[in-house]
């Protein structure tokens, strides 16, 4: 898909979009409608008539596994993860045929590097002055500190290396041309500000095709360009255009572009904000984002989301990361079999992982590895189960965690960085974390008694009962 419009057309063609023409209010009312939709399995919603603005509002575009996969142009997230696995498993080619194949792959990769055009549709309308009042920015929850742009792609460059970063960070509107930038302490945008002389040129793109929007949320290392990753995901390079008032580029096909700078010397209170944790994040000081320019497509669509008590739309963005980054995690942790970030853990509070144990203490090694791995290091609770337990079956995981753990032996407690949104931690972004080794224990792992077998019927008897089920006339699934 090239842009948001093609994506909207695709959603419509697939019966995955409802257009609402009745007037709705961006102040709280859209949240209540969308929240019901997100929790009730509704399609994407395109509100055509929004009070106080001429722009339509698109919400819940990613709100199911099917739509998330559709957006990334794949039949399933695991199939896409397979493509990533293939790429990173590229071995030094042996014969001529393999060499030609490997060359083809490298050429394909090179073709995903973003291109640059002089101008693009996102600059069809150039406003003489930035004016955020034109955009129907949602006030999401009753105690929110104001309206927030919730699905923005924020572009800046590392002031030392010039490498581009694109991240999704919410933006609170203060007035027509002033905002607050919610760059959390562990994120790349915040690092740019720390390393700058006080001002970082920034551009914000709102309303792009789904591969780009997703890529802004992906926890890529700082030296990997999210726009190259987006090009790889969608199978076509991303075309960028230079902004008019700042030395930053944005995707040419974005619906709305905000240009400006973030000022480290101008910190102001940001929030409160009804966050994806299910709680309000309290007011804290964040840097100001001063707009210097604003451009749009003709008839721009405003693309947004609402976060809050899970499950909501962002669950599926997180699930995409869980699936797509598993092959990358396995590069350094080859014994990691599977991973589930359950919705109740809101991404940073809980990771369930499974391991094919090969030596005593293997599960504990994995717990420590999670705590040393990128943004996963912020995980407050890690549960490790054996490889034959389905990590997505939370009941099966709980059964092992409740029955296989001797707290004195199988629980690890550590202290370190936790998520900036972790309200239970005693300090901001610093607290304790727990890991449970819920695997079967081996001799050499502190068990002096034989470990019991889990109860299972023999295959022979199961097959016999399968074959006789109809004859028994018992009206239950077999
Ligand atoms: C809907 C949504 C809103 C988000 N809002 C923020 C935010 O306000 N601040 C933040 O630091 N991260 C936020 N994130 C998470 C970041 O986008 C994510 O951690 C991303 O990897 C950051 O990119 P970076 O590693 O390049 O900094 C949000 C994610 C989603 C899906």
Q: Is the CB of 280 under 6 A from ligand 1?
A: no
276 and 176 both lie in a single domain = yes
342 and 233 both lie in a single domain = no
Assessment of whether the complete model's pTM goes beyond 0.85: yes
216 and 357 both lie in a single domain = no
Residue 389 included in any domain: yes
145 and 215 both lie in a single domain = yes
What is the extent of the structural domain holding 344? 333-437
Q: Given ligand 1 and candidates 38, 154, 167, which is best to mutate, with the most ligand atoms within 8 Å of its CB?
A: 167
For 170: left if phi > 0, alpha if psi spans -120 to 50, otherwise beta; the answer is beta
205 and 128 both lie in a single domain = yes
129 and 249 both lie in a single domain = yes
Q: Taking Cα atoms as reference points, which of 210, 234, 241 lies closest to residue 58? A: 210
153 and 283 both lie in a single domain = yes
pLDDT in tens, the chain (478 residues): 999 999 999 999 999 999 999 999 999 999 999 999 999 999 999 999 999 999 999 999 999 999 999 999 999 999 999 988 888 776 666 777 777 777 777 777 788 999 999 999 999 999 999 999 999 999 999 999 999 999 999 999 999 999 999 999 999 999 999 999 999 999 999 999 999 978 999 999 999 999 999 999 999 999 899 999 999 999 999 999 999 999 999 999 999 999 999 999 999 999 999 999 999 999 999 999 999 999 999 999 999 999 999 999 999 999 999 999 999 999 989 999 999 999 999 999 999 999 999 999 999 999 999 999 999 999 999 999 999 999 999 999 999 999 999 999 999 999 999 999 999 999 999 999 999 999 999 999 999 999 999 999 999 999 999 999 999 999 887 6
Residue 397's alpha-carbon distances to 41, 119, 160, 393, 402, in angstroms, are 26, 52, 45, 6, 9
Residue 356 included in any domain: yes
Q: Which of 35, 275, 314, 410 is catalytic?
A: 275
Q: CATH number, domain at 371?
A: 3.40.1670.10
Domain count, the chain: 2
Tokens of 179: 């905002």
357 and 215 both lie in a single domain = no
CA distance 475 to 478: 9
CA distance 249 to 169: 17
Catalytic residue flag (residue 275) = yes
Q: CATH number, domain at 44?
A: 2.30.110.10
Residue 77 included in any domain: yes
Q: Is the CB of 215 under 6 A from ligand 1?
A: no
293 and 149 both lie in a single domain = yes
225 and 369 both lie in a single domain = no
């Amino acid at each position: 898909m090239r842009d948001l419009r093609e994506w909207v057309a695709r959603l419509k063609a697939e019966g995955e979009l409802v257009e609402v023409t009745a007037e709705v209010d961006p102040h709280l009312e859209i949240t209540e409608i969308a929240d019901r939709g997100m929790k009730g399995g509704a399609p994407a919603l395109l509100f055509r008539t929004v009070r106080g603005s001429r722009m339509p509002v698109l919400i819940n575009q990613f709100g199911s596994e099917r739509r998330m996969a559709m957006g990334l142009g794949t039949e399933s997230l695991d199939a896409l993860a397979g493509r990533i696995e293939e790429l990173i498993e590229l071995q030094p080619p042996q014969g001529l045929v393999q060499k030609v194949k490997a060359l083809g792959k490298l050429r394909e990769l090179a073709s995903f590097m973003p291109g640059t055009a002089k101008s693009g549709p996102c600059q069809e309308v150039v406003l003489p002055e930035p004016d955020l009042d034109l955009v129907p920015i949602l006030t999401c929850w009753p105690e929110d500190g104001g309206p927030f742009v919730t699905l923005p792609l924020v572009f800046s460059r590392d002031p030392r290396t010039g490498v581009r970063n694109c991240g999704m960070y919410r933006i609170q509107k203060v007035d027509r041309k002033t905002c607050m930038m919610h760059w959390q302490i562990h994120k790349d945008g915040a690092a740019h500000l720390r390393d700058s002389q006080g001002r970082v040129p920034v551009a914000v793109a709102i309303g792009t095709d789904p591969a780009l929007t997703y890529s802004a949320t992906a926890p890529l290392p700082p030296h990997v360009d999210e726009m190259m990753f987006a090009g790889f995901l969608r199978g076509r390079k991303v075309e960028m255009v230079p902004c008019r008032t700042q030395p930053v580029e944005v995707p040419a096909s974005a619906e709305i572009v905000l240009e400006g700078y973030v000022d480290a010397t101008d910190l102001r209170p940001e929030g409160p904000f009804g966050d994806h944790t299910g709680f309000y994040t309290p007011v804290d000081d964040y840097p100001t984002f001063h707009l210097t320019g604003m451009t749009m497509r003709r008839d721009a669509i405003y693309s947004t989301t609402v976060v809050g008590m899970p499950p909501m739309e962002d669950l599926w963005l997180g699930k995409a990361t869980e699936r797509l980054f598993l092959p990358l995690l396995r590069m350094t942790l080859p014994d990691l079999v599977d991973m589930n970030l359950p919705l109740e853990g809101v991404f940073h509070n809980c990771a369930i992982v499974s391991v094919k144990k090969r030596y005593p203490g293997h599960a504990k090694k994995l717990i420590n590895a999670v705590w040393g791995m990128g943004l996963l290091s912020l995980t407050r609770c890690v549960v490790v189960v054996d490889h034959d337990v389905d990590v997505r079956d939370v009941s099966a995981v709980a059964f092992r965690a409740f029955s296989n753990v001797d707290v004195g032996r199988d629980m690890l407690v550590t202290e370190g960085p936790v998520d900036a949104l972790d309200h239970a931690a005693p300090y901001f972004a610093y607290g304790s974390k727990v890991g449970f080794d819920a695997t079967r224990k081996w001799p050499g792992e502190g068990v002096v008694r034989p470990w019991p077998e889990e109860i299972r019927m023999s295959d022979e008897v199961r097959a016999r009962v399968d074959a006789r089920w109809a004859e028994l006339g018992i009206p239950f699934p077999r």
